[in-house]
Amino acid sequence: MSWTTADPMVSLKDVHKSFGELKVLNGVSLDVMKGDVICIIGPSGSGKSTLIRCINALNDIQQGSILVEGQEVNDPKVDKLELRKKVGMVFQQYNLFPHKTALQNVMMAPVRVLKQDKVKVEEVARALIKKVRLEGKENAYPGELSGGQQQRVAIARSLAMQPDVILFDEVTAALDPETVGEVLQTIKDLAEDGMTCILVTHEMAFAREVADHIYFTDRGVIVEHGPPETFFQNAQDPRTKEFLSQIL
Amino acid sequence: MKYETDLPVMLPLKRHQSEPFLGLKSKHILTVALIAIIGPCVAFAQAPSGQESPLAVLLNWAPLLLKGFIFNLIISISAMAFGTAIGAILGLGQISLIAATRHSSWFVTQFFRNAPWLVLLFFAMFLLPFEINVFGFKIPFPDWLKAILGLSLPVMANVSEIVRGAVRSLPSGQWEAAESLAYTRMQTLWLIILPQCVKRMLPPWMNLYSILTMATVLASIVGVSEVMTLTGQALASEGGRPELLAPFYGFVLLLFFIYCYPIARFTVWLEKKYAVIN
């Protein structure tokens, strides 16, 4: 079975995950097509972050199937390194490497992991830093950058691996309000370039603007989903309605 | 710290302090000087007339004692180097994903960390052969080499714990970020985790070195000709004059103090420096 772009790029079917006794995901299914931007929203502790961390095998699952470009992730034999070359990830706490400059952070993985030519990688890395609007900060260490700047370096670092899909795990949740905008703008640019993005977010206005599809999760299941317009204006489920009324 | 303000506020009172020399205030220097002066004076007062003054005797012996002290330093540096190399491997073993490696490294670390240094030294002294036969060649295994091996055992165990602790102290996000960028575990360790750990490991590692240096005198008990052994021999050959005890052992104390105190100061300085950054 070979995967084509007509098939979903990421496909979850009946995914179950628990940490010991605690059930976090209770049968989640969703499909993401190439170029799609999907947003997963929901109350804290509803399993959103766990959900996307399962896609690049940072968390394993107990039951169900996760296909990334037709390849099963829930398989002990899966080559996790190959999978992670295709699936980028950006974290809430940025997780930049503090002993490396912004440029080195972006360059390191392509050089060390993909074994690409250093000169070419540097060219690409400088272009990416420019793309996330951080020109001039190439030689700054993460400690010298603001939260928003660090997060944009983290996005550039992820892009440098040329992934097919990027996971964003509440990437603006730890930021000062005034720097949230610059990070969201960067993600918006990516979405417009056609990058497949899966976002966990609390930024409703942003989700409404950029998402092709919204998923609302609560207690480990997807309660409701749909395109942003119908989702925000025409929520059916009482849990969704209650959540939206608290947030909006 | 600077206080700059245009407002009519009362600035915090600050007692005038003179710039300390290596962190030593004048009263400390005075104390050390008193010990250095009073010791020989008392000794001089006790000395029967017609004999060389204790200070002169000490001066005669000082070059030999200094040589002994340098031997102590060689033992400490060698034991530190050897213990650090093995201990680093053991520490990495403690965070291995292979359960057998992890558990055995943990056990070895705990075993040697909770053993008295002197016992380990005796252990090395009397269990190691005095020479090793390799392809018909007899390689001698002198006492001082055994002492180095014996002292490197507790160093190894402590370094192992320092490495494990430093790796554990890094936020898990660093591992996750590296994983999500498809680094192998080895790459993650060598490129991302360990470089960040060096800074955290340096102060406890230097502390350990300082403790080890002071512990090298234990080697005198098992007969290695280091500074304590030589001091005892010098005193004996001077006929065991009691008034010589204070200046001679005072001299040895002073040597260790001069060597170890700056290390301790430097460690404190490093700790402060890294505390601000982290």
DSSP per-residue letters across A1-24: ----TTS-SEEEEEEEEEETTEEE
Nearest CA in chain B to A159: B181
What pTM did the predictor assign? 0.81
Q: Is the CB of B174 less than 8 angstroms away from the CB of A161?
A: no
Q: Is the CB of B177 less than 8 angstroms away from the CB of A113?
A: no
Closest-CA distance, B109 to chain A, in angstroms, reads 29
Instruction: State both tokens at A117.
Output: 């030519």
Q: Is the CB of B196 less than 8 angstroms away from the CB of A157?
A: no
pLDDT digits (tens, 9 = 90+) for A154-213: 999 999 999 999 999 999 998 988 889 999 999 999 999 999 999 999 999 999 999 999
In this prediction, does ipTM exceed 0.90? Answer: yes
pLDDT digits (tens, 9 = 90+) for A112-157: 999 999 999 999 999 999 999 999 999 999 999 999 999 999 999 9
Closest-CA distance, A113 to chain B, in angstroms, reads 6
Could you give all domains of chain A from N- to C-terminal order, each with its CATH number? 10-247 (3.40.50.300)
Q: Which CATH superfamily is domain B69-240 in?
A: MetI-like (1.10.3720.10)
pLDDT digits (tens, 9 = 90+) for B232-265: 999 999 988 888 998 999 999 999 999 999 999 9
pLDDT digits (tens, 9 = 90+) for B28-83: 777 777 766 666 666 666 655 667 788 888 999 999 999 999 999 999 999 999 99
Cα dihedral across residues A203, A204, A208, A209: positive or negative: negative
Closest-CA distance, A55 to chain B, in angstroms, reads 11
Q: Is the CB of B176 less than 8 angstroms away from the CB of A157?
A: no
d(CA A75, CA B222): 60
A154 CB neighbours in chain B (<8 A) are 177
- The residue extents of the domains of chain B are 69-240
